[in-house]
Amino acid sequence: MRKEIADKLIEANKQIYDQIAKDFSTSRAKPWPEFEYFKGYLQNGQDILDLGCGNGRLLDFLKDYKINYSGIDNSEKLIEEAKVKWPGQNFLVADILDLSFLAEKFDLAFLIATLHHIPSDSLRAKALREIYSVLKPGGKLLMINWNLWQQKYLKYIIKYTLLKLAEPNKIVIEGLKAKDLELQDVFIPWQKKHLRYVHAFTELNIARLMKKTGFEIIKNVSNKRNIITVAKKI
């Protein structure tokens, strides 16, 4: 994927999340059941980085632990929501593709429903390498990505695959044609209005990315909703 296309998709998603921040924050009030996979990796005193933190809802899951939390998101409006909901916590507007301002200090990095919003395999790998660089040796990445290979979402995978192959010049969003997409790239509507870019990962896709970026996979499983991954910096 060309850089200008990837940049356009990133900016389009950012604008959508800025626009829907309040409604989106309200809809994301509770921790996901899949967070239970991560409990065994939590300890008091850890430095924890929450990438794509949104409204900070991960803190509901972490509330029983005495940890040092930092949350980043590229949506200014979602960070505003997080600061209102969790006064006193450390939130920052930042780009997951450039974490050079952070030290190699984190025990755990959470990446919840974020990597699938990053377009192109090269940028997804860059994001993971950035995360790798800020984890302590032996630090863990705890990640969840949507599992779109289910009845509810399979229609979008079929739709955009067919468009790319049969109607490559069809406009899919403003300034972007079907041929600009990579296979497994889709747009998922929010409240039937806003089209969010998502990459439809498989477990194998994620395993290959982990290996490519130096992580050792501890767990990589899926259910009907999500793909859950735990990986270690080695």
199-220 pLDDT tens trace: 999 999 999 999 999 999 999 9
Confidence of residue 40 (pLDDT cuts 50, 70, 90): very high
69 beta partners = 48
DSSP conformation class of 182: P
Confidence of residue 28 (pLDDT cuts 50, 70, 90): low
* pLDDT tens digits for range 94-127: 999 999 999 999 999 999 999 999 999 999 999 9
What are the two backbone dihedrals, phi and then psi, of residue 141, each rounded to the nearest 5 degrees? -100, 125
CA 189 to chain centre: 17
Nearest to 110 by CA among 23, 37, 187: 37
Whole-number percent of the chain with pLDDT over 90:
92
Q: Is the pLDDT of residue 223 over 80?
A: yes
What are the two backbone dihedrals, phi and then psi, of residue 212, each rounded to the nearest 5 degrees? -60, -30
d(CA 195, CA 188): 5
Q: How many residues does the chain have?
A: 234
Are 181 and 167 in contact, with CB atoms under 8 Å apart?
no
What is the set of domains in the chain, with CATH numbers? 3-148+199-233 (3.40.50.150)
Are 49 and 110 in contact, with CB atoms under 8 Å apart?
yes
